[in-house]
A and B are shown apart, each in its own frame.
Chain A
Amino acid sequence: MTDNKINLKYDIVIIGGGPAGMSAAIAAYEHGNRSILIIEREKRLGGILKQCIHPGFGLEMYKEELTGPEFAARLIAKVREYNIDCRMSSMVLDIDRKLCVTGTSSDLGVFTVQAGAVILAMGCRERPRGALNTPGTRPSGVFTAGAAQYFVNMYGYLPGKEVVILGSGDIGLIMARRMTLEGAKVKAVCEVMPYSGGLARNIEQCLNDFNIPLLLSHTVVEVHGKERVTGVTIAQVENVPGKGRVPVKGTEQFIPCDTLLLSVGLIPENELTTSCGIRLNPATKGAEVDQDRQTEIPGIYSCGNVLHVHDLADFAAEEARIAGEAAAERVRKLRENAGEKSCEEGGFKVGLKADGKVRYVVPQVITAKKDVNVFFRVSDIFKKPTLVVTASGSAEGAEGETGENVLLKKKYLKLVPGTMQTVTLKKEMLEQIPDGGRIEFKLLPGDAE
């Protein structure tokens, strides 16, 4: 049975044909590689962009405002122009440490692809109801916002007529408008935090335009209904030290509705990543990577929303270019040094740490002394904070010295968890740091709230 198994060979195998995967493929091609394969489980390229019919894409990459399908079409056109191979309707089952990718599809059955580099670009999925532990019955009518978006925009099915939305992330806001335009009544958007994670413009054009109330510090405490949702009980929440955000007794109110949409966060889809032994960062829920987006396994790269959830598709696509170029460069070097044992990196490695107020940084490791853009995200709303980036000495510790020096300080008017930030660590800064050193990202609070 295994005798006639299809064995393919490509320099670079990219898993996922969304904005990150296509962008990585395009960058690898433009870096000179001509042996690239994209593996996509759906029938068409584009990933989530296919169902994101609203505008707001492309402002960073193309300096014009596009809808999701238009943004995808730009990338698809490049993939076609470069004749990059794509295996559609194919599901990757496994990646091993020797960069052999095993997949399955109805035309090939089980197949393997031996790669010189693998780029993980599987994107993310929505947090489901099960992750929230919301009490109540289990009727139909509870959907993630993205699932509702798929039904409405791809099939023209309206999943409900009277809607409550839990979570005010951008997908939830976009769906509040979309359901309203299609004739549903959106009764409220509840947000457990005292602020919305969505863009100000989306609160304006998706909620305020249609007089949809945004209830901050509110959550759904019970779902009602036997066959179908008949309503939800919502309540105000308060932050109790040690307990987190808990409902306030006496503030419960019942809202009749037939549908509850959840827009409560995204989780990188890392089953393949962990199955080949790559550990995940608890804050990003993605792999830990170096400046080239290479994971702890040499030759396996990770980029886009599978690495960490980005605010805009543009940012995910731009990050994927880094991985695409680096993968092409790795293959080029391997070929150049053919026969010899591939040279290890130049023996330079520093770790990047976040202090908690800075929730995470990407990359988490730097192995090259060149300008590196570091992405970071904060854990709360901070007004007028100062970011301080310090470097400390080698692992052995310089004798008698604290060995900590400030690489850069930057003041911000306001930092919010919903907006990813970038700072550049210059080559000259990295040259001061000994191998095995550590770079720490700290946030000094400014004015009190």
Chain B
Amino acid sequence: MKRTITCIICPKGCEIEADNDSGTLVLSGYDCARGKRYAETEMTCPMRTLTTTVRLPTGRMLPVRTDAPVPKAKLFDCMAEVAKIRLPVKPVAAGEVILADICGTGANLIASAAWELNANP
């Protein structure tokens, strides 16, 4: 398969040409090692960092994200798991693990902001 991949690692958005017709993956157009790695996973198992929200006991939302990319194909499975989360009435620290090993991906869902009991709404 030949594909042009727009790199999403940084705002530069390099266009990387990928070709695995010969059995080995040939890449060109990347500007850094991270871009090359991105194109490699994109051709095998595309991965994405998930950012979403979890409902707080007050009714407001807590921003959360995965601490590592998860397979793109599992994003909606992860969203379904997130929807089931009911947070206990206790403070949350930024970076605290909300759900470990989400959908068996090995990535943890972590809080991207702190929440205190008496926080402003």
Q: Residues of A at under 8 Å CB distance from B?
A: 43-44, 53-56, 59, 67-70, 73, 88, 152-156, 181-183, 199-201, 203-205, 208-209, 311-312
Q: Which 8 A-B pairs have the closest CB atoms?
A: A200-B13, A69-B113, A53-B63, A201-B8, A204-B6, A43-B120, A67-B112, A205-B8
User: Does B7 lie at the interface of the complex (its beta carbon under 8 Å from any beta carbon of A)?
Assistant: yes
With an 8 Å Cβ cutoff, the count of chain B residues facing the other chain is 30
Whose C-beta in chain B lies nearest to the C-beta of A69?
Answer: B113
Give the segment of B17-25, B44-52, B100-108 that binds chain A.
Answer: B44-52
Partner of B51, one of A44, A54, A199, A200: A54
The answer on a CB contact under 8 Å between A312 and B11 is yes
**Contact between chains at A70 and B79 (CB < 8 Å):** no
CB distance from A179 to the nearest CB of B (A): 12
Q: Among residues 15 to 53 in chain B, which have CB atoms less than 8 Å away from a CB atom of chain A?
A: 15, 48-53
A–B pairs, 25, beta carbons within 8 Å: A43-B120, A43-B121, A53-B52, A53-B53, A53-B65, A55-B49, A56-B11, A70-B113, A73-B94, A73-B113, A73-B114, A153-B53, A153-B61, A154-B60, A155-B60, A155-B61, A181-B75, A181-B76, A182-B52, A200-B6, A201-B8, A201-B11, A203-B6, A204-B8, A205-B8
- Tell me the complex Cα distance, A312–B113, Å: 20
Residues of B within 8 A of A (CB): 6-11, 13, 15, 48-53, 55, 59-61, 63, 65, 72, 75-76, 79, 94, 112-114, 120-121
Residues in B with CB closer than 8 Å to A311 are 11
Bound-state CA distance A203–B50 (Å) is 16
> How many residue-residue contacts, CB under 8 A, span A and B?
77
Given contacts A73-B94, A203-B6, contact A67 B11 (CB under 8 A): no
Nearest A-chain residue to B6, judged by Cβ? A204
Residue of B with least CB distance to A56? B11
For the A-B complex with A56-B11, A73-B113, A181-B79 known, give 8 more contacts whose Cβ atoms are closer than 8 Å.
Answer: A53-B112, A55-B49, A55-B65, A69-B113, A73-B114, A156-B60, A200-B13, A312-B11
Q: Is the CB of B63 within 8 A of A181?
A: no
Is the CB–CB distance between A70 and B94 below 8 Å?
yes
Query: Cα distance A154–B115 when bound, in Å?
Result: 13
Query: How many angstroms between the C-alpha atoms of A104 and B54 in the bound complex?
Result: 34
